[in-house]
Amino acid sequence: GAKLEEEIIRVQQLLEAAQIEFQLEGDTHLKHAPPLVENVMSMSLKEACTNVVKHSQATVCRIHVQQSKEKTMVAVEDNGTGIAKEKAGTHGHGLQGMRERLEFVNGILEVSSPAGGGTRLYIEVPNIIQ
């Protein structure tokens, strides 16, 4: 499966090629996540950053990785146009596929619009596979 730290290097290149400033917070080397969880996280991060490049018109994208023994959390935030509410659940597209993969590992996806503008995706997955 794809390692999160390797995917982060790829999305950094993708964002910088699109002239979007890349900011990273947290340790990208996952210590507690099983391979399936890490793989789903990596795929979700890739889709989130592809969306930032394709749709957001942002100038900055910030990735925040947090981990505990119990769960792994990744937030992807941009300062772009923001995501229309009705689009956050569109079927047959990237976000819907992300939700389905996350459900499979008992994870959650929250899409929100921060007060300052832009879009924030928050992903949380337990490190224990049921």
Question: Is residue 56 exposed (0-12), middle (13-18) or buried (19+ Cβ within 10 Å)?
Answer: buried
Q: Determine which residue in the list 34, 94, 97, 126 makes contact with Mg ion, applying CB under 5 A.
A: 94
The reply to whether 97 sits near Mg ion by the rule CB under 5 A is no
Q: Which stretch binds Mg ion (CB under 5 A): 61-69, 74-82, 88-96, 117-125?
A: 88-96
Determine if 55 is a binding residue for ligand ATP (CB under 6 A).
yes
* Chain residues 88-127 in contact with ligand ATP, contact rule CB under 6 A: 90, 93-96, 119
CA–CA separation, 107 and 109 (whole Å): 7
CB-CB neighbours of 113 under 10 Å:
14
> Of the two residues 22 and 34, which places its CB atom closer to ligand ATP in the complex?
22
**C-alpha distances out from residue 22 to 25, 31, 41, 49, 108, Å:** 10, 23, 18, 10, 24
Name the binder of 107 from ligand ATP, Mg ion, none, CB < 5-8 A by kind: none
Subset of 65-84 contacting ligand ATP (CB under 6 A): 78, 80-81, 83
Cβ contacts of residue 4 below 8 Å, gap of 6+? Answer: 28, 29, 30, 33, 38, 41, 42, 45, 65, 74
Judged by CB under 6 A, the residue of 8, 20, 37, 52 near ligand ATP is 52
Sign of CA dihedral 73, 79, 84, 85: positive
Q: Does 72 bind Mg ion (CB under 5 A)?
A: no
Residues forming contacts to ligand ATP in the complex (CB under 6 A) are 51-52, 54-56, 78, 80-81, 83, 87, 90, 93-96, 119
